[in-house]
C-alpha cells in the first residue's frame, strides 16, 4: 500500500484580511489542526501569549535562527518586523503523517513554494478593497503611518491571488475556516 505524504497547507493573503482571526477560529473549533507557531521580532499585542500565538524573539535571536538554517521561510513584513516559520516542528509534523498549516505573508508563501512545491497554497481574499481598508481602520491597533504602510503592502498582495491553488473569500470567518479545513481534507462540523 502506498501512503500519500501528509501535506502542508499555506494560508496567505493581504494584511487585515482576517488571517489571524481565521487561525484563531481554527485553533478553537478545530484543535486537531496543527498550526505552526512563527517566530517574530515584533512586540506582543495585549492578550498574545509567547509560544502560543508567536515565539517573540529579539533581533539577535532571529538572526541566529536564520544563520543556523532553522527557518523554513522568513520575511520582513510591512518593511518592519521579521517573521519566520521554525522548520523543525513543521518537518516533524509532516514526517508523522499529519497535515500542517502555516499562516504567513505572501513573500513567505513564495519561499515555501520554491522549497516545498507540493504544498497547497490558499489565498484568503477580502470581499473588496474598501472592506479591507475598513477592517484595518476598525482594528485600531496601528497608527495612521503604520496603516498606510500596511495598505500599500495589501495593494501589492491582492494582485498575487492568481498564484494560488485556492481562493477563499473571507466574508464570514466560520465559513472561511470551514472551507479551509475542508480543503485540508479535514471533516467539517
Ligand atoms: P501580525 O503582526 O498582524 O501578527 O502579522 C503581520 C503579518 O505577518 C501577517 O500578514 C502574517 O500573515 C505575517 N506572518 C506571520 N507569521 C509569519 C511567518 O512566519 N512568516 C511570514 N513570512 N509571515 C508571517
For residue 101, give the CATH number of its domain.
Answer: 3.40.50.300
The answer to whether residue 64 scores a pLDDT higher than 80 is: yes
pLDDT at 5: 58
**E strand spans, the chain:** 8-12, 34-35, 39-40, 55-56, 71-77, 81-86, 100-103, 120-125, 166-169
**pLDDT value of residue 80:** 85
**pLDDT on residue 72:** 98
From the CB of 55, is ligand 1 less than 6 Å away?
no
Name the domain count of the chain. Answer: 1
Domain that holds residue 85: 8-183
Is the shortest distance between the CB of 157 and ligand 1 below 6 Å?
no
| From 49, 78, 108, mutation site for ligand 1 pocket: most ligand atoms within 8 A of C-beta | 108
pLDDT digits (tens, 9 = 90+) for 153-182: 888 889 999 999 999 999 999 999 999 999
Is position 139 within any domain?
Answer: yes
> Does residue 189 lie in a domain region?
no
- Is the predicted pLDDT of residue 74 greater than 70, yes or no? yes
- Of all protein residues, whose CA lies closest to atom 19 belonging to ligand 1? 84
* pTM, rounded to two decimals: 0.91
pLDDT at res. 1: 45
Residue 188 lies in a domain: no
Amino acid at each position: 500500500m502506498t501512503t500519500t505524504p501528509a501535506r502542508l497547507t499555506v494560508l496567505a493573503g493581504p494584511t487585515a484580511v482576517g488571517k489571524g482571526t481565521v487561525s484563531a477560529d481554527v485553533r478553537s473549533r478545530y484543535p486537531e489542526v496543527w498550526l505552526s507557531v512563527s517566530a517574530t521580532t515584533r512586540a506582543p499585542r495585549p492578550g498574545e501569549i509567547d509560544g502560543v500565538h508567536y515565539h517573540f524573539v529579539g533581533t539577535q535571536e532571529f538572526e541566529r535562527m536564520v544563520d543556523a538554517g532553522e527557518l523554513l521561510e522568513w520575511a520582513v513584513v510591512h518593511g518592519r518586523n521579521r517573521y519566520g516559520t521554525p522548520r523543525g516542528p513543521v518537518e516533524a509534523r509532516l514526517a508523522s503523517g499529519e497535515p500542517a498549516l502555516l499562516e504567513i505573508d505572501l513573500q513567505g508563501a513564495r519561499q515555501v513554494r520554491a522549497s516545498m512545491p507540493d504544498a497547497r497554497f490558499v489565498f484568503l481574499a477580502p470581499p473588496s478593497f474598501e472592506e479591507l481598508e475598513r477592517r484595518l481602520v476598525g482594528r485600531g491597533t496601528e497608527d495612521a503611518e503604520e496603516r498606510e504602510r500596511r495598505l500599500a503592502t495589501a495593494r501589492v498582495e491582492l494582485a498575487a491571488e492568481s498564484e494560488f491553488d485556492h481562493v477563499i473569500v473571507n466574508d464570514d470567518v466560520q465559513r472561511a475556516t470551514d472551507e479551509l479545513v475542508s480543503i485540508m481534507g479535514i471533516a467539517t462540523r
